[in-house]
């Protein structure tokens, strides 16, 4: 297990299409976080899971966004009816315990054209 994996690395989609990203955390990490980063900004929190339970969601996570972690392992982030404003880097991170060290994935860069 070499770290947090995100797939795909890059995604270009047309406005209005649906996209889904995947994150595979470090296997023994029970917490998984999704962040969005736009150009020139620090990452913004979207949501986080503890095992399969989604415990917190940001107001940034509109109705078009949904995240799942069905078996408490990998997670998916789906964006429906994409808009140009959704263009960003989507980062996933995992941790074992709060404040006990986080590992980030390399991110999925989404471009909506």
Partner 1 sequence: KNEVEQSPQNLTAQEGEFITINCSYSVGISALHWLQQHPGGGIVSLFMLSSGKKKHGRLIATINIQEKHSSLHITASHPRDSAVYICAVNANTGNQFYFGTGTSLTVIP
Task: Give the footprint of partner 1 on this chain (CB under 8 A).
Answer: 31, 33, 35, 37, 40-45, 48, 55-56, 89, 91, 93, 98-99, 101-107, 109
Report in angstroms the alpha-carbon separations of 73 from 44, 57, 90, 104, 108: 22, 18, 18, 15, 18
Render the burial of 66-102: b for 16+ CB within 10 Å, e for the rest: bbebeeeebbebebeebeeebbbbbbbbbbeeeeeee
Least Å distance, CB 59 to partner 1, is 12
Least Å distance, CB 80 to partner 1, is 23
Nearer to partner 1, 79 or 91 (CB): 91
Least Å distance, CB 52 to partner 1, is 16
Nearer to partner 1, 81 or 96 (CB): 96
């Amino acid at each position: 297990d070499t770290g947090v994996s995100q797939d795909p690395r890059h995604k270009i989609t047309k406005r209005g299409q649906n996209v889904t990203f995947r994150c595979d955390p470090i296997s023994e990490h029970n917490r998984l976080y999704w962040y969005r980063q736009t150009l020139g900004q620090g990452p913004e929190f979207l949501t986080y899971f503890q095992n399969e339970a989604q415990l917190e969601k940001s107001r940034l996570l509109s109705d078009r966004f949904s995240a799942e972690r069905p078996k408490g392992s990998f997670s998916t982030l789906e964006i429906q009816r994409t808009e140009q404003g959704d263009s960003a880097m989507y980062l996933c991170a995992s941790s074992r315990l709060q404040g006990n060290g986080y590992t980030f994935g390399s991110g999925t860069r989404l471009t909506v054209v």
